[in-house]
């Protein structure tokens, strides 16, 4: 039954055309009979056909029209199939363009946008109707936009493909003015003797952030291993030095007691000889300066021991990448000891630690990295303000089930027009070689994403900045496996 449906559909127009064509000979015969006043009998019909041979030709009209109807119906069916196939293909392509994860932007030879898919709307923040017909330079930072027309004209004039057809990393511009790293591939295409260019763009901010975190993590791991090794190697000889200095200090005390005892048993003549010998060998200076030198050396040893202890705490590796309960204030003090050289000539450091806080559940290494970065940034801000001696104040406060760590400086502050960009990856105001723009972005990721905490700041240009690190004091209980 189903096989007959197409044929019926195909021959129905032919039957209609044949029936319509039958009207021509019937009307012609009726007119001739009426003209000659003959009744419609078989004899009269035969007479009229023999007299007017053209009637036989007219009788072929239904056949011709029927054949023509068959041809038209077949052509119509083929055209409908092709139109349906093209419509399906168009819908499929439209669906692919709408659902693909990459932004696809098409431009003409003048750089004007002719197509802008949904992924492009999501990545760049523009609606399609906002950019259609606009120059593609609106999606680029100024430096790249200035060079874009030159690349396009060079290709059109010379055909040289310096960047055409090659996948490369670029900076793209979001509608809100923020730049982000993107991977771009441009390919030319010819439509109706016109050249167009299609660009496939992927936002690689997350990838770059993960790469940055991996690099920083590897650096911290290498530094941690090195620091742990150095701390271990220093610890033993410094203990020898400390023990020997304590013994030497006791020896000076014993030597002083010996001279006092000796003075009590000598005769006056022997005392004069002893005084002369002491002057000849500068014994008074030795007995005065020696203990002072030993005391200063012991202070230095204690300072080295403190640094070694800080290095051990700071470089403690959490290979299992699980949260650990640590003494927060010890960790902050260890970080201050490690980076002391960055601020000791620039700023004084004050600490105000809350007694309500002891241990905090966290990832020690990443948290140390954030503390180190913010303290060094505070020192740089004070150095930039060119104050004689600045102040870095670190305090902790308990806020319900969270701890608030404040790192405050009286440095240059952060101008308002860039405050919403400081956590952007690769954004930096520091000169080349002093900042990569990854520190605060990485810190934000560690505190917000890794610790489910908060990182924000309060700043006023010329007065200073206060960064707030807010962390849950206790790690949330793990969900049981399904």
> How far is the C-alpha of 314 from the C-alpha of 318, rounded, in Å?
11
pLDDT at 225: 62
Positions in the chain short of pLDDT 70: 1-14, 17-21, 61, 65-66, 147, 149-150, 159-165, 212-233, 309-321, 387, 425-439, 476-482
pLDDT at 352: 93
Degrees to nearest 5, angle at CA 103 with 101 and 109: 155
pLDDT at 419: 76
What are φ and ψ of residue 331, in 5° steps? -65, -45
pLDDT at 409: 92
All residues at 6 or more sequence positions from 468 whose CB lies less than 8 Å from its CB, including other chains: 404, 405, 406, 454, 455, 456, 457, 458
Which pLDDT tens digit goes with each residue over 194-209?
Answer: 888 888 888 888 887 7
> How far is the C-alpha of 188 from the C-alpha of 198, rounded, in Å?
6
To 10 degrees, the CA torsion angle through 254, 260, 265, 268? 140
pLDDT at 168: 83
Could you state, in order of their start, the residue ranges of all structural domains in the chain?
4-97, 101-203, 206-317, 319-482
pLDDT at 426: 53
pTM reported for the whole predicted model: 0.47
Distance of alpha carbon 406 from the chain centroid: 26
pLDDT at 1: 38
- The yes/no answer on whether domain 319-482 falls in CATH 3.30.565.10 is yes
Contact 55, 99 (CB under 8 A): no
Element (H, E) at 450: none
> How far is the C-alpha of 188 from the C-alpha of 109, rounded, in Å?
10
- What architecture does CATH give domain 101-203? 2-Layer Sandwich (3.30)
pLDDT at 41: 81
């Amino acid at each position: 039954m189903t096989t007959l449906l197409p044929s019926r559909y195909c021959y129905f127009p032919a039957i209609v055309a044949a029936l319509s064509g039958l009207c021509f000979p019937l009307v012609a015969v009726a007119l001739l009979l009426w003209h000659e006043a003959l009744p419609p009998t078989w004899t009269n019909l035969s007479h009229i056909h023999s007299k007017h041979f053209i009637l036989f030709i007219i009788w072929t009209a239904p056949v011709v029209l029927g054949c023509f109807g068959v041809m038209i119906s077949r052509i119509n069916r083929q055209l409908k199939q092709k139109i349906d196939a093209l419509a399906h293909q168009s819908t499929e392509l439209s669906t692919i363009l709408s659902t693909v994860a990459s932004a696809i932007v098409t431009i003409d030879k003048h750089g004007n946008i002719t197509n802008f898919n949904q992924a492009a709307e999501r990545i760049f923040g523009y609606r399609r109707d906002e950019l259609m017909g606009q120059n593609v330079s609106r999606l680029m930072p100024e430096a790249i936009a200035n060079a874009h027309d030159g690349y396009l004209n060079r290709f059109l004039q010379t055909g040289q493909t310096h960047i055409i057809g090659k996948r490369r990393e670029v900076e793209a511009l979001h509608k809100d003015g923020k730049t982000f790293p993107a991977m771009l591939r441009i390919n030319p295409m010819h439509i109706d003797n016109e050249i167009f260019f299609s660009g496939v763009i992927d936002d690689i901010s997350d990838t770059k952030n993960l790469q940055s975190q991996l690099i920083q993590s590897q650096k911290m791991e290498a530094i941690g291993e090195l620091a742990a090794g150095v701390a271990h190697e220093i610890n033993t000889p410094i203990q020898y030095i400390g023990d020997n200095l304590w013994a030497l200090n006791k020896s000076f005390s014993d030597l002083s007691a010996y001279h006092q005892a000796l003075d009590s048993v000598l005769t006056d003549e022997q005392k004069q000889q002893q005084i002369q010998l002491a002057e000849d060998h500068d014994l008074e200076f030795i007995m005065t300066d020696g203990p002072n030198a030993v005391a200063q050396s012991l202070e230095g040893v204690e300072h080295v021991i403190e640094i070694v202890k800080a290095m051990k705490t700071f470089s403690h590796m959490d290979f299992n990448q699980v949260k650990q309960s640590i003494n927060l204030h010890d960790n902050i003090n260890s970080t201050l000891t490690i980076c002391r050289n960055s601020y000791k000539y620039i700023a004084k450091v004050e600490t105000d630690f809350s007694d309500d806080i002891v241990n905090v559940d966290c990832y020690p290494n990443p948290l140390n990295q954030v503390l180190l970065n913010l303290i060094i940034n505070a020192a740089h801000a004070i150095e930039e303000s060119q104050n004689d001696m600045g102040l870095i104040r670190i305090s902790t406060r308990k806020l319900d089930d969270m701890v608030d760590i404040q790192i405050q400086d009286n440095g240059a502050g952060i101008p308002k027009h860039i405050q919403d960009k400081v956590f952007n990856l690769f954004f930096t105001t520091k000169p080349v070689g002093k900042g990569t723009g990854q520190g605060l972005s990485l810190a934000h990721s560690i505190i917000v994403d890794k610790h489910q905490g908060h990182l924000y700041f309060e700043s006023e240009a010329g007065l200073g900045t206060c960064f707030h690190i807010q962390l849950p004091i206790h790690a949330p209980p793990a969900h049981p496996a399904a």
